Copies of this chain bind each other. A is one copy, B any other.
Amino acid sequence: MSVTHPAGFTAAAVAAGLKSSGAKDLALVVNQGPRFDSATVFTANRCKANPVLWSQEVVKDGVVKAVVLNSGGANCYTGAEGFRTTHAVAEQVASGLGIGAIDVVVCSTGLIGLVNPRQNLLDGVDAAVAALGAHGEDAARAIMTTDTVPKQVVVEGAGWSVAGMAKGAGMLAPALATMLVVITTDAIVPAAELDAALRAVTRVSFDRLDSDGCMSTNDTVTVMASGASGITPTPADFTVALTQACTQLAMQLLKDAEGAEHEIAITVLGAASEDDAVEVARSVARSNLFKAAVFGKDPNWGRVLASVGTTAAAFDPGDLDVAINGVWVCRESTPAEDPSGVDLAGREVSVTIDLKSGTERATVWTNDLTHAYVHENSAYSS
């Protein structure tokens, strides 16, 4: 059930002393080969953390042999000194494994603006290298911050598999959401094919997650293919497995979002383009008023349409349909079925908006806005 399930991967997790709790806070995932194909996508935020600046260079040649991740500090906005820390960590991993630092992706998560203690990280790397084994589960736990559960997935292919781990609970929005994901597979997948599959998949999975509208500085999704199964799946088969793995991880992130009491799937139908559908769905996903209403179990479709109206998508403002949990509470932009028939007691909420302007559709996932979200994010760094 972990990133060490596919053949060719080892992992370890140690307590490097970054988390004040003394919990494990440094994870290492190593591809033992024989192949080292990889693909990575990063946050679209223009303010990128030092590990992202480093890793962007690492992934350019499609070869990644190890990913080292720490929680307890994002190493973002820490300047040249912070970059040197990231570089030193990569060198320490490389030296311990006998590989080049330029094949080591570094990921960090935690508070922005905190300088991570370099020696703790370097000592932690040494301990992790010494402890490498089938410890994917430990690794998934070590990267948790405000996450309440580790997120992991395994998808089985025919003689090969795809596995993944993820962390992320806040600052969870599109264009990769403070979300770190490591995917492993023992299939033989050339780097270019991995890259194409990963970009196609993240576009409709992690990038469609918009829990709180806040885009992170550290988001990284790395997939490594060891080829250790000796099997070369068809591109379609591999893409399907990768899609299942990423979608399941995205749903695990959604379910563990900070303070959330509902998972809300906003589906826009009848759009003139997929971009229109995404724009409309995202506008609703970012309406604090609608999200607070869902928390209050109030099927407030007026707040849905008020958000739709802020977009540039093609639609007739006088001819919009809205359903909440299957009840069409609004037809042709006027009240229709009785909203009191909408049951919002469960965690899962579906909102469907028909723009009646085309045939495209898209779903964006978000959460409700709760007292617990406000509490967690007002008390986080204090």
Contacts and interface: CB of A to CB of B under 8 A. Distances in A.
A289 B78 contact: no
B293 A381 contact: yes
A223 B25 CA distance: 60
B378 A332 contact: no
Interface stretch (A27-35, A110-118, A134-142, A225-233): A110-118
A217 B287 CA distance: 14
Contact of A214 (B47, B217, B307, B332): B307
B371 A47 contact: no
A310 B301 CA distance: 29
Given A307-B214, A308-B47, A333-B79, A292 B378 contact: yes
Given A371-B374, A377-B288, A47 B333 contact: yes
Given A214-B306, A289-B212, A330 B113 contact: yes
Nearest to A214: B289
A48 to B, nearest CB: 7
A74 to B, nearest CB: 7
Interface in A282-329: 286-289, 292-293, 295-298, 300-303, 305-311, 317, 320
Contacts of A382: 296-298
Nearest to A315: B46
Closest CB pairs A-B (n = 3): A112-B302, A296-B378, A47-B309
Given A78-B334, A170-B289, A214-B289, 7 more contacts: A79-B334, A112-B305, A213-B286, A214-B307, A296-B379, A298-B381, A300-B380
